[in-house]
Amino acid sequence: MNITQGKKRVKELREIIAYHNKKYYDDDAPEISDFEYDMLNNELKNLEKQFPELINKESNTQKVGGTVKKGFKEVTHEVPLLSLQDIFSFEEVYEFDKRIKKQAEEFGENTTYVVETKIDGLSASLKYIDGKFVQGATRGNGQVGEDVTNNLATVKTIPKELNEKINITVRGEVFIGKKEFEKMNEEIGYEDGNLFANARNAAAGSLRQLDSSVTEKRPLDIYIFNVQKIEGKEFNSHFEELEYLEKLGFNVNPVRIHCKNIDEVIEAIKKIGETRESLSFGIDGAVVKVDNLSLREELGETSKTPRWAVAYKYPPERKETILKDIVCQVGRTGAITPMAILEPVSVAGSTISKTTLHNEDFIKEKELKIGDTVVIQKAGDVIPEIVEVKKEKRTGNEKEFSMPQICPVCGAPTVREEGEAALRCTGIECPAKLVRNIIHFVSKEGMDIDGLGENLVEQFIEKGLIENIADLYTLTFEDIASLKKNGTKFAENLINAINDSKNRPFYKLITALGIRHIGAKTAKTIAKYFKNIDNLMNANASEIAELEDVGQIMAESIYEFFRGDQTIDLIKKLRDAGVNMEDEETNEIDLKFQGLTFVLTGSLDNYTREEAGNIIENLGGKVSSSVSKKTSYVLAGDDAGSKLTKAQNLGVTIITEKEFEEMIK
């Protein structure tokens, strides 16, 4: 690779790593495994080693990832919380020892080591004054972190008062244990078929909650592994520090092995790797640290990493098992996700019996068949995935799998639209997505039923009071009042809101039905043209596609929607309930703006932009967000900006609010 190629690849890697840094450190929502992330960083490190002129201070190899989340106060660390240099082979371990020994000889120091587990969690500092916990902070970018004192105070294994009245700042790793993580995932991790990606993600998200009462409900734990700063005490070795921390009452990393030489270090790394499944917490490596504290001081650190420690990263563990079956789950959005049912196998500390297969394309790409011998990979606590099929082990009894043509929950037809990976249920009354459909139906853009939120909808469903959207109109005063203490007034208001919604404009009903690709603007066009629900239901796709702003995909979506048995049933129930299904009678003056396009800019005195836009659309006009030669009028209010200037340059007619009011009389 020449310098030009290297420069291009380094730029690509920095952009990719910056994206995944944000997902990992700031959003607590990683999209790739730790191993994949490490490989990207390793490639960048090697390229910068090959082409030193490409190194700059913005490179991921030169700084610690992470920023301060909005809502938290900043904490400047008195001693930086540095990250560790990752290594991936025993050859690199020997190279580390060679470098340490060379410098140790210069300073006349000995070179023993301590090997510890690298806990997969979120790094934090704890500050104590006179033995009392006064401040806790996340690592952040190493120099500045987030003040999470109140959240850390809810962690049961963090002592609020030490066994000695001492001023000390320590560093530890906040994590969630394996069993606790699995239990939490079962209780609160499911949302549309998704789980918390890993224990680290769950721990970080829990610690960085703005509401400490949420953190308190999460099973957070911590292991302390370093003294950052201490007053009135001196130590000769790191191992001695750890023993003292334990006496103070801290929960110290339980896996710490003192090694006299590098061969013992290698054996310790191997031992940790062999026993990692039996650990109660997740790890993503083993940390090798120089034990001699005076030697550490002489070795120093870079802007990102200490020179006296490295992190050995274990390769992701892989195991073979049998793909016993493939079943499909329907999420709240209607997305149908295939799940692999596996012969239970222990991987990286937990028993795996099922995992997601993502979508139809994934199954085809891997050429999966029911009965196959497959290879499962689980790096750290990342949700396992099938990475390989052992085709040579096929017996001929394996079965092909096809995605269902009907929803496994409600029996409605399924559809996979062009350009989408997900297969979806088309049933509007599907129990799996009932909550989501009702919330959309009652929203402000839909039937605008004020006071009917998600929690209340879920209560109605749990108590069997509603089984479909139309059941909203059968709710009684007593049904609603029974859900709240002293709920009389609330029930009265909600009943009134439900009854009021029956008289909403026809386009509101079309919007509320949640037809894919159809928003309020298109719904208005459809309502004005077809006039009532019967005309719309009887229209063919070609006729619908002829409408302005309605494309072929939208037309086919509308047509297929009204062919569904569940849709026909729902429309009948809504009609019986008295819901309006007709557009208001229109006459010549109602459509005076037909064929005209308006752009709104600046502040109006008597209308919001939304209100003015609704008036224009109700009179047959179209509202655009940008000015062009095709624009008919620009309605300009106070403080109009660049749109007004562009209209003047293009010679577009500009009208004032007063002129607009004259036009709509």
User: What are the E-state strand segments in 177-316?
Assistant: 221-230, 256-259, 283-290, 309-312
**Residue in 118, 289, 369, 622 annotated catalytic:** 118
Beta strands 373-378 and 633-636 are unpaired
Helix (H) or strand (E) holding 136: strand 132-138
Chain centre distance of CA 608 = 34
HSE, side-chain direction, 13 A CA sphere, residue 111: 24
Mutual angle of helices 34-50 and 3-21, in 10-degree steps: 150
DSSP H or E run through 332:
none
State the Cα–Cα distance between residues 288 and 310, nearest whole angstrom: 5
Closest CA to 447 of 506, 401, 391: 506
Rounded-to-integer distance, Cα 200 and Cα 202, Å: 5
C-alpha 204/C-alpha 69 separation (Å) is: 12
Instruction: Say how far apart CA 426 and CA 414 lie, in whole Å.
Output: 6
**CA 328/CA 140 separation, integer angstroms:** 40
- Residues 285 and 118: their CA atoms lie apart, in Å, by 5
Task: Please give the Cα distance from 306 to 299 (Å, whole number).
Answer: 8
β-strands 317-330, 373-378 pairing:
antiparallel
User: What are the beta bridge partners of residue 230?
Assistant: 168
CA distances from 346 to 21, 403, 598 (A): 30, 28, 64
DSSP 210: S
Three-state secondary structure call for residue 411: coil
> Which neighbouring-strand residues pair with 375?
320, 388
Using CA atoms, how far apart are residues 42 and 37, in angstroms rounded to an integer?
9
Paired residues of 425 in beta bridges? 414
Is residue 289 part of the annotated active site? The answer reads no
Tell me the C-alpha distance between 138 and 133, whole Å.
15
Three-class secondary structure of residue 184 per DSSP: helix
Rounded to whole angstroms, the Cα distance separating 102 from 109 reads: 10
Q: Which of 224, 247, 238, 234 is nearest to 169 (CA)?
A: 224
Residues paired with 145 in a beta bridge = 75
Distances in Å between the Cα of 294 and the Cα atoms of 81, 109, 161, 237, 288 are 19, 8, 29, 8, 17
| Cα dist from 525 to 170, 200, 461, 546, whole Å | 64, 49, 34, 11
Tokens of 642: 């660049």
Start-to-end CA span in the chain (Å): 72
Contact 184, 219 (CB under 8 A): yes
Q: What are residue 224's DSSP bridge partners?
A: 172, 252
Residues annotated as part of the active site: 118
